[in-house]
Structure formats: C-alpha cells, structure tokens
Amino acid sequence: MNRGFYWRVAIILVVAFSAWMILWPSIPNIAPAWVQNWIKPRMNLGLDIRGGARLSYDVQIGTAISERRDRVIEGMRESFARDFSILGNNARMTDATLRELRSRVTVTRNDSDNRELTIDFTNESDASRVTSKFLEDRGLVERRRSGKLIVVALRQEEVEALERDSVSEARKRISSRIDELEVKETSITARGETIVIEVPGSDRAYFDQIRDIIRRTARLEFRILADQATVLERFRSGGSDASSVPEGVRVEIEGRVPVGRRGDGGQETATPLYLRAQGPDGLRRLREFIQSQPVRGALGDSYDLLIGEDEREARRGRGQRTDAPEIPPERKVWRTYTVEHVAHVTGDMIRDASVDFRQDTGEPHVSLAFKPEGTRAFADITTANVNKRFAIVLDERVMSAPVINEPITNGSASITLGGSNRSAQRREATDLVAVLRAGALPAPLSEGTMDFIGPTLGQDTIRNALTAATAGILLVMVFMLIWYRSAGMIANIAVVYNLMLQLAAIALLGATLTLPGFAGLALTVGMAVDSNVLINERIKEEMRSGKSLRAAIDAGYQHAFTAIFDGHVTTFISGVVLLQYGTGPIKGFAVTLLIGIAANLFTGVFATRVVFDWLVRGLRVKSLSLG
C-alpha cells in the first residue's frame, strides 16, 4: 500500500469524525451538556415538520431611500449657505437663513423619483459650484443639467448598499427582540426585502406577544451614569436589605471610574456598585428583583423600573464583553448601571452612525453624526459632564458606557472601544453601529402574513416522513445486499456514510430541514445507489472479459466515472437554478440536493474505491462476490 492510500483513509476518517461531532448535539437525550455547549451547529427542522407560527415583515426600502435623499438635501443646503456666507462655520440653519438661501439657490426633492433631487440656482454662474467632486462626496450622480438647473440622484451603489443595510439591520433588530424573550430554536431569514420568522410552539397568544415586540419602535437614549449614587448601598453585605438579594444575584463593586473634575482641575473618581447575574436563571432573578423594589414610576418596560430615590434608575446591560454570540447562554453575564432619570439625547436626534478607523493607529471606532437639534443637546450635555460616563441605552438596556473626554460641539462624536484585540474591537464597533442605527431604523417594517401550523400535524408529518424514509432506505439496502452481496454491503455502508455527511452539512450551514428537504435527501440517496450500481455492473463486465479482480475494479471505476459525473453535474445545474430563483420550500429542496450531490461523489466514487483498494491491495483478495 502506498502513502496516497493512507492519506485517503485519513481523509475519510477525519470527515466521518467531523460529521458525527456536528450531528451529536442534535440527537435528543444523547449528547452531554459539554458537547451541546462546545459544538454550536444544530439540525433545524422546518415548521412543516415541528409546528409553530411563521411571521413575515416587509422592509420598506423606498422609505429608506427617500429619507437618505432628504438627509443629503439638508446637508447640501447647509453647505451652500456657508459657501454664500449666509451661515457661519459653527452656526446652524434657521428659518431665516433658509429664506435667505432661497434667494440664491433652492434644493428640492423630486416626488416622482425618490432618488432624485433638483438644484436650481438664481444665477447660472453659480451652477459651476456643483462639480463631480461635490457630487461624489455626497454619493450623488448627475442626471441632467440645463443652465442654472441641475438634476442629480443617489448613486446606484449607494442605493444598493442602503437596500442591503436596511434588510440586514431589520433582521438584527428582530433577532435582538426575540432573543430578549429567550425564545429557543427561532429561525430568522431574509428573503429579498422580506424578513421571515419561524417560531416553534402552539400558543397563539404567545405568538401575538412576539409580533407586538417586533413591531415596537426601538427607543435609543443617551443618559449620564450616576456612578456616585448610593441607591444600592442598602443591598451590600451588612446593609439593611442585604437578605433580600436573591440567590444568583450579587452586589459588586466596580473599579474606579471617572465622575468629573475636582476644583483643582484633577479627575474625581468613584467605585460604583452594581448588581451582577449570570446565565438565564440569574437574568430572570435579576429582573424579578428589580421589579420588586419600590418604584417612583414605570418606564414602559416590564423589567427595568425606577429603583431607589433621587431620580435614579437601575438599567440592565451586558457584562464586560461576555455578551458575544459565541458565548453560551449559561455563561453570559448581566449587570446593572445606575443612570440619571432624564434622557438628554435620544435616538431620533442621530442622523447616521458608521465604523471608521483612525489614520495613525488603525484602531476602529464608531462615528456618530447628529441632526441640528441633537448637536445642540449633545454639546450641552457633554460640556456639563466632562470626565463622566454616559450610557447608550437601547430599549431600556445599556449597550455601552463610554467616558466623555471633552465637550462635543461639532455635531459629531467618536466612541472609542477598549481592549487590545483589534478583531474584537472591530466586531464590537460593528455591533454598536447596528444598535445605534436600530434606534432610527432607515427602513420601517410593514407586517405581512402570519401562518399557523398545528403541532399535531407537525408530529404526524415527521413520524410519517421518517417511517417512509427509513423504510425506503432499508428496502434499497436489502436489495443491494441480496443482488450484489459483498459489493452491496460496501454500497450500503457508503449510503449510511452519505446520509450522515448530508445531515451534518445541513446542520453546519444552518439550513432548515423541511419536507421538501426530505425529498431532496431521498432523491440523492437514490442517486448514490445508482452510482454504486453503475460501478458494480462495470466491474462485473470487466471480470467477464477475463480480467483479474484488481484490474476489473480499476477499469470499472474508470469507465463508470464519466457517466456518474455527467449525471451529477446536470443535476447540480438544476439545483443551482432552483436555489437562485426558487423561494421557500423550493430553496430547501435545492439546498439538500446540492449537498447530496457533493456527498454522493465523495462517498460513491472516493470512499468506496478506498474500500475496494484495501480489499484487493491490502488483504490481497482474489475473488469478490458481486452477485
């Protein structure tokens, strides 16, 4: 046996072991807890199998495009006002300055095309101000120009990026809200401009609750942290109410944080207290504990309420970079932040947010751009609270708590993220941008359909499908064993290996197995058997011509490969077309079909050939029963 044979054996064993490890957590009552925590891929079953509700929401891309164009118009008016010396460098547009600007130029939207806007100068000579560089900086392209009148539009690249971002952000927002409810095994997919949510279960009232949560408008607020507040002192060890703190919730002391400047110009610090909990049970107890405290008024959310006195609130947030998606639920840490009651800056004051990189260090940071009213409010609050922390709060949950290093008065802000790991910083910056944009979602959602599939139907369906699939596969394997005997046994092992690879690939890719998916599995198993039939028949023909078993196997695989490959390629092309243009169940069928084709070629041609080589070259078998 040469070295190449052992490499092929190693590949087959490694692939088989990997497939089993991927499938292991999806097998009920078999995988231990450490396996389920360590291995993340899961086999997801569609609602046509398990029952539940399917909700759909359409992302209104047209509205997002119109709003982006309107923001460009607002910025262009300010730019022209400064060019014409109507507006000072640090001043903001008012009704008076806008009226004065109209005597020189008007910038208006085109109601017939939500991408277009019209620039109309009073003096034709001023039209030269609109250069290609001027338009490129604003993501615009010139449509037509006639004297003092210029019609421009958002660039196609800008529109396409906006469409992608709008759907992506809508999906993140919905996912965040559903995660807040701790709903298990929920599938959220984007199909064009439609977001489809599949929730298992049978409680229609619960589905209505989820629908209401998704439809709710996100609330984004900026609040100053009250790090010097003492509202949690009574819960510390030895405090008057220490015994009321439930198991799983702890009162901890945070390291020194800045809380302002002293009279001599130095930095004043404090060591604030906070409540800490870990895992789903700890989070539940933390919610219940906050709810149970004396309140001065509800804040609109069922688990984050006013706590203590002096207009302070306990807000729940994530604990020190442990809320990443790859962290299992039982290891996620939650904590509280004590914040001021008044939100001085809200999400509707932000115009845009993006991830940028510093030119000197390459460090990622989050750039914010405020609307005029947000600029004024943010300047006031940052001037009055230098060297204090302020909380970015989304839906009553603290997402970040940076320090105000200096007054921010120019209508923009930069949030620098801590830590030395650049990839972690970049990931957190991207997540934070998604959070900030979710506060003022660029595209509203309109509710589509809500379909129910009963759990009884789902159970009957999966039982019948599994029975049919098992019976079909067993009949095929019995036939192969009777007809081809030893060669049929090899083919049967290849079929089982094939099924394991297909299911593992579906779990690894995060695809959902539906009834059409079962049909795809059945079809590819049939194709796998056909491949083995072709190979076995060619080997038998070569042996009848007088060749030895070893030579017959070599010739049989060589001559059968062309027919097998051609048949799989044509089917693969059909699967690609179905995946590209199909929707819903058709795509599910196409995914399993494409995975099955790859698995067939690997098991039917590569893996079985290794077994035959082992028999005739390793064990030196001279004869083999082929039926």
Q: Do residue 232 and residue 128 come from a single domain?
A: no
Q: Is residue 574 part of a domain?
A: yes
Q: Do residue 227 and residue 373 come from a single domain?
A: yes
287 pLDDT band, cuts 50/70/90, is confident
Number of H helices, E strands in the chain: 17, 23
Domain boundary among 415, 439, 465: 415
415 pLDDT band, cuts 50/70/90, is low
Q: Do residue 410 and residue 460 come from a single domain?
A: no
Q: List the CATH number of the domain containing 523.
A: 1.20.1640.10
Q: Do residue 140 and residue 285 come from a single domain?
A: no
Q: Is residue 94 part of a domain?
A: yes
- Are the C-beta atoms of residues 378 and 385 closer than 8 Å to each other? no
Q: Is residue 437 part of a domain?
A: no
Domain boundary among 104, 135, 158: 158
Q: Is residue 31 part of a domain?
A: no
Residue 447: per-residue pLDDT: 76
Residue 140: per-residue pLDDT: 93
What is the domain extent for residue 488? Answer: 3-17+454-618
Domain boundary among 118, 141, 158: 158
323 pLDDT band, cuts 50/70/90, is very low
List pLDDT tens digits, range 55-88.
Answer: 888 888 888 888 788 878 888 888 899 899 888 7
pTM beyond 0.85: no
Q: Do residue 532 and residue 399 come from a single domain?
A: no
Q: Do residue 511 and residue 592 come from a single domain?
A: yes
List pLDDT tens digits, range 596-612.
Answer: 899 988 998 888 888 88
Q: Is residue 49 part of a domain?
A: no
Q: Is residue 167 part of a domain?
A: no
513 pLDDT band, cuts 50/70/90, is confident
Q: Do residue 472 and residue 582 come from a single domain?
A: yes
- Are the C-beta atoms of residues 245 and 251 closer than 8 Å to each other? yes
Q: Do residue 250 and residue 366 come from a single domain?
A: yes
Q: How many domains are contained in the chain?
A: 3
Cα gap 590→506, rounded to integer Å: 12
List pLDDT tens digits, range 359-407.
Answer: 777 778 778 788 888 888 888 888 878 888 888 876 667 877 888 888 8
Q: Do residue 316 and residue 386 come from a single domain?
A: yes
Cα gap 441→219, rounded to integer Å: 11
Cα-trace Rg, the chain: 32
CA 399 to chain centre: 17
Q: Do residue 154 and residue 236 come from a single domain?
A: no
Q: Do residue 143 and residue 278 come from a single domain?
A: no
